[in-house]
Amino acid sequence: MKIIRAKDYYDMSRKAANIISAQVIMKPNAVLGLATGGTPVGTYKQLIEWYNKGDIDFSSVTTINLDEYRGLPRDHEQSYWYFMHENFFNFVNVQEENIFVPDGANPDSEAACKAYDQVIHKAGGIDLQLLGIGTDGHIGFNEPGSAFELETHCVDLTDETIKSNQRFFGEGEEVPKQAYTMGIKTIMQARKVLMVANGEDKAEILKKAFEGPVTPAVQASILQMHPDFTLVADEAALSLLDL
């Protein structure tokens, strides 16, 4: 694995956007695996800025998001479909038919997850998967203890994740308790994996995930075994690592 140290959130975002940008320049029809959450928003902002300058073209790119809440339709303001449009897709030229997010509105979990795996296989797999990391080490919605062998599946979210996601929902609004997520197997099959992390609240989990043992208890730790994994993190998030 490669660790790239960034000064701060802005620097982390620019470095991550540079790596994504290089991928799209090298392969204009790249398949990008994308993530929601607070961390990658700055990366998307930077990519939008470069798109506006004419430096990057997404017209042949396919995007396949990591996860979606089960029970939320696309047009729900808290759905990840909505989030991705608000933070990225509405501002660049990714073709709508090349955008994929698990179908949260499909109550048939098995069918929804199977269909999503087919989307990934049909696209020829993921060239570059962007990830954030939860404070308990989750990637996508793969919670501590999940089997590493899983492809897209339905998960019961932990209390910690539900609590942490509360900030994206209105006061008193209920946070969904289940989600469809790519599994660790799906993520590990991506040809490149790029994780972004910032802030001191991620320091402890980065230490555990990347300087501790590979264990399902810390889902992100499996990335130590990925042949092309890059972590771009700011100084606060890297503060506990020995490096």
Residue 87 region, left (φ>0) first, then alpha (ψ -120 to 50), else beta? alpha
Answer yes or no: are the C-beta atoms of 202 and 9 closer than 8 Å. Answer: no
Q: How many residues bind ligand F6R (CB under 6 A)?
A: 14
Answer yes or no: are the C-beta atoms of 185 and 150 closer than 8 Å. Answer: yes
Tokens found for residue 61: 């790119």
Answer yes or no: are the C-beta atoms of 113 and 153 closer than 8 Å. Answer: yes
Q: Which is nearer to ligand F6R, 91 or 168 (CB)?
A: 168
Tokens found for residue 136: 């308990």
Q: Which H/E stretch holds residue 53?
A: none
Q: Which stretch binds ligand F6R (CB under 6 A): 93-101, 108-116, 128-136, 219-227?
A: 128-136
Active site residue ranges: 67, 136, 138, 143
Q: Does position 66 bind ligand F6R by CB under 6 A?
A: yes
Q: Which stretch binds ligand F6R (CB under 6 A): 34-42, 46-54, 102-110, 119-127?
A: 34-42
Q: Which stretch binds ligand F6R (CB under 6 A): 29-37, 46-54, 69-77, 230-238?
A: 29-37
Q: Does position 140 bind ligand F6R by CB under 6 A?
A: yes
Amino acid at residue number 196 = V
Query: Considering Cα of 110, then 63, then 2, then 42, what sign does the dihedral take?
Result: negative
Least separation, in Å, of the C-beta of 82 and ligand F6R? 13
Q: Does position 134 bind ligand F6R by CB under 6 A?
A: yes
Q: Which stretch binds ligand F6R (CB under 6 A): 42-50, 93-101, 105-113, 139-147?
A: 139-147
Q: Which of 12, 20, 35, 187 binds ligand F6R (CB under 6 A)?
A: 35
Q: Does position 67 bind ligand F6R by CB under 6 A?
A: yes
Amino acid at residue number 227 = P
Q: Which is nearer to ligand F6R, 14 or 60 (CB)?
A: 14
Tokens found for residue 229: 């994994």
Backbone angles phi, psi at 27, to 5 degrees: -140, 90
34: β partners? 65
Q: For the chain, what's the residue count?
A: 243
Q: Which of 38, 73, 107, 124 binds ligand F6R (CB under 6 A)?
A: 38
The residue with tokens 């609004």 is 173
Q: Which is nearer to ligand F6R, 60 or 71 (CB)?
A: 71
What mask, x for binding ligand F6R by CB under 6 A, covers residues 87 to 126? ----------------------------------------
Q: Does position 37 bind ligand F6R by CB under 6 A?
A: yes
32: β partners? 63, 128
The greatest distance separating any two alpha carbons of the chain, rounded to the nearest whole angstrom, comes to 46
Q: Does position 139 bind ligand F6R by CB under 6 A?
A: yes
